[in-house]
Chains A and B, each alone.
Chain A
Amino acid sequence: MTAALELRSISKRFGPIQALEGADFVLQPGEVHALLGENGAGKSTLMNIAAGILRPDRGEVVVKGVSLRLDSPRNAARHGVGMVHQHFSSVPAFTALENVALAARWPMTSPRVVRGKLEELTRRTGLAIDPDARTESLSVILRQRIEILKALATDASILLFDEPTGTLAPPDALDLLRVIRDLAARGSAVVLITHRLDEALAHADRVTVLRRGKVVFTSPAPGLSEDQLASHMLGHPPESTSSPVSAAVGGPPAIQVDRLSVPPLGGRGPGLRDASFHIVPGEVVGLAAVEGSGQNELLRALAGLIRPGSGVVHVQAPVAFVPEDRTTEGLIQEFSLADNMILGFGTSAPWIRHGVLAPDLCERLTAELIEEHQVHSSGPLARAATLSGGNQQRFILARALAQKPRVLLAEQPARGLDIQASRDVYQRLRLAAGAGAAVLLHANDLDELLGWCDRLMVVAGGYLQVVPPGTGRDAIGRMMLAPGSSPS
């Protein structure tokens, strides 16, 4: 049988980083093939090469037995390779029909023909969509469905999904995985990039593991265990993941919110509506939500960065805020670590006297801090940009903890980090709670929140609910669905 897609000894280098080194990958027709690996292992790079987005330094791309030089996504699409990216690439103001037609280069001059084509496509694939719905008004799962239809509309028989479940609530994720299985049953060959081991084992036929740019393991999925896969991903057996749960210190609330409403950031989404809750010192509270449900508005209003529309907020100072985007908001990449300390500390810092800075003192304190928190860098004068993502985040947290915050607010602090680095991050948050801070934490991954938090709250469609103790994972997942959106 001819493989649908074959990648032969692919190598790719980005500056000093060898992203891929002699990676081989074979995808058979009709199979769902999970591609596993930690962040930075090279999963996306490998699939971007297959989709014609990146060109390999060395190696060969073979589609249905023919060796090809894929130099653009359009060229790849012509040969039946389509990619569904993690971040959607549809025009928000267009309808579903317009977006699909745009991607497939259907001529919009004959609307009736195009409409017929889309109807035929949805019938053939079982992916129903309202062709006239404006894309921005649709739920995340339906917007993702448009992305899939866009790939299928170019007659793609090889579909590459890049972390498709990363931004979905658990019931939606399950629904999507069923769709993917169904596509394979209808003859498509599917690659599923993921870092979720349970997903790979439950829904894939085969599994391939990448570690540091090399393929280290490939095997049929049945009969494998999560531990087996984890040790291939890490290169060593995984440590036990029991989280230290501290008893809440208690006392009067450090965060007290009463009927808080916040207008949406950037004018899009629901914002936050009428939220009430409190958090006492020593507690780590997880905020579960899918993208754009109002969690950013809540955290940023508590941090004092945006003005609430109405309601009462009491937050004890000092407050530390860890923004979602560490590269553009958490740090100034062009500045040294010492300068980034000055940025984070503001006006009340030991190195400021009458508005004049004492750089020597700041550098010394920065050096001590990066030593204490094992931030790998060439020293306090290293530019932030020279640090790896994990070390940048370690530095940001170290800087926050050094201010002995009473309240610590974190937006996806472990995003894009590998397993060890994200565990580090969560341990530091627990440390802050142990020192008496009230911690409010948002992460996309529900399991991470369940593992590291004392209790959970859910925001969906702008409405906040406190999760009652003892609520199961599935029930929490259902709470995360925006009110009014149906799960199918």
Chain B
Amino acid sequence: MTMLSVTRRGLGDWVASLAAVLAGLAILALGLSVAGYDAAGALAALWHGAFGSWYAFTSATLVRAIPLITIGLGIALAFRAGALNIGAEGQFYAGAILATWTGLHLQGWPRFPAVVMVLLAGVVGGGLWSLVPAWLKRRYGVLEVISTLMLNFVAEALTSLMVQGPLQEARGVYPQSDSIVAAARLPLIPGTRLHWGFALSLFLAALLWFLFRRTLWGFQLRATGTNPRAARVSGRINVGAVAAAALIGSGMLAGLAGSMEVSGVSYALFQSLSPGYGFTAIAVALLARLDPRVIVLTGVLFAALETGAAGMQRDAGVPAVVVYVVEAVIILVVLVADAGARRRAAPVPEGAAA
């Protein structure tokens, strides 16, 4: 099963991606005008909110890009193998819960090992959360689209339970955890609120690109996602195992994003830790056509849209939620352009000319 033809990317695909972004913004401008807003002013406020100052760019836009890039890489990993993981939101929370619990119990640890422990806890949490759908699929053939989606609700409920129960702050007032120990916090780049998780996400993008392009395992992953029948009949690829591994790896990356959010931004766990990163990241990965290098760019783009939206609400009085319309339009345009390209490229059925 392929959602996007990801094996060959030509210039036309990038034109389509760019057109998608422009179409999204154009529809936003049109909608704002019709609704009686000052469209030009609103778009200027959007731009200013995202890129207006060094501080806004690094401390708002890039900070928000970190989870989008990291989860987006995970989505690419799963989708390339044909496993449609739409449970990154839940895997993010599972990682955040385990990371918070770990971060609260590391008194007396030196900084580096403490941070590593917290991040590893996130990886383990996200991995365990995606292990469930991976196992259900291999053992019982349960569609991962359903199981990963359902586990999102479970993870959110579990987070709610945690911050009102075992992990609630000592004061017992708000539904949130205490702050994790200082040693377990990711260091910031001086003068900004940008933490070193950004560098880690760039490194992971490079690593994943190498994995897809240059390793046998990455090849097996792409073969499985592109044509599982041919992959199986080749006699060389354990299709089920490859897809399961990709799904688990995908969950680990989402869990890592959860732990980085706790360790680098919030320092504590609470219910709305993620403003839907796990879903936005699907759009990030699809717009990048599952290419890890491009995910870095689209991750920053979507982060800019969402942080810019806050500026737009503040300065132009436009509700921030309208950017979700832009995101939706972008994805629709990409999917339609891709379906069109596939139809044009469809070969003549062999029987038709026989």
Contacts and interface: CB of A to CB of B under 8 A. Distances in A.
26 contacts: A14-B352, A17-B348, A19-B353, A42-B353, A44-B351, A44-B354, A304-B235, A305-B232, A305-B233, A323-B233, A328-B229, A332-B223, A332-B230, A332-B231, A333-B227, A333-B347, A334-B226, A343-B223, A343-B237, A345-B236, A355-B215, A355-B217, A357-B216, A385-B345, A389-B350, A416-B350
B236 A339 contact: no
A305 B230 CA distance: 12
B216 A356 contact: yes
Nearest to B210: A356
B7 interface: yes
Contacts, number: 94
Contacts of B345: 385
B88 to A, nearest CB: 26
B8 A357 contact: no
Nearest to A385: B347
B53 interface: no
B234 A343 contact: yes
B214 interface: yes
Contacts of B266: none
B214 A19 contact: no
Contacts of A385: 345, 347
Name B's interface SS.
Answer: helix
B192 interface: no
A346 B236 contact: yes
Contacts of B232: 305
A342 B348 CA distance: 26
B227 A356 contact: no
Given A45-B352, A359-B214, A339 B219 contact: yes
Interface in A13-62: 14-15, 17, 19, 39-40, 42-45, 48, 54
A344 B7 contact: no
B236 A343 contact: yes
A334 B7 contact: yes
B227 A334 contact: yes
Nearest to A331: B230
Contacts of B8: 334, 383
Instruction: Categorize the interface residue count of chain A.
Output: 35 or more
Contacts of B354: 39-40, 43-44, 416
B236 A347 contact: yes
A334 B6 CA distance: 9
A329 B233 contact: yes
Instruction: Please indicate which of the listed interface residues B223, B227, B234, B351 has the most CB atoms of chain A within 10 Å of its own CB.
Output: B234
B349 to A, nearest CB: 8
Contacts of A343: 219, 223, 230-231, 234, 236-237
Contacts of B107: none
A294 interface: no
A278 B215 CA distance: 39
Contacts of A345: 236
Interface residues of B, number: 28
Contact of B348 (A15, A43, A332, A416): A15
B5 interface: yes
A334 B341 CA distance: 13
A286 interface: no
Contacts of A479: none
A346 B223 contact: no
Contacts of A332: 223, 226-227, 230-231
Nearest to A328: B229
B216 A347 contact: yes
Nearest to B344: A15
Given A332-B227, A359-B214, A346 B235 contact: yes
A335 B226 contact: yes
Pairs of residues from A and B, 6 with the lowest C-beta to C-beta distance, nearest first: A346-B236, A14-B348, A329-B233, A334-B7, A332-B227, A19-B353
Interface in A284-342: 303-305, 319, 321, 323, 327-335, 339, 342
A355 B216 contact: yes
Given A45-B353, A305-B233, A328-B230, A335 B215 contact: no
Contacts of A40: 353-354
A243 B225 CA distance: 42
A434 B136 CA distance: 48
Given A343-B236, A346-B235, A356-B214, A330 B351 contact: no
Interface in B230-253: 230-237
Given A19-B353, A327-B350, A355-B217, A335 B233 contact: no
A305 B235 contact: yes
A352 interface: yes
A339 B217 CA distance: 13
Contacts of B227: 328, 332-334
B237 to A, nearest CB: 8
Contact of B230 (A17, A44, A319, A329): A329
Given A305-B235, A359-B214, A14 B230 contact: no
A346 B234 contact: yes
A318 to B, nearest CB: 10
A268 to B, nearest CB: 17
Contacts of B231: 332, 343
Given A328-B227, A334-B7, 9 more contacts: A15-B348, A39-B354, A44-B353, A319-B235, A332-B223, A334-B226, A344-B236, A347-B236, A389-B350
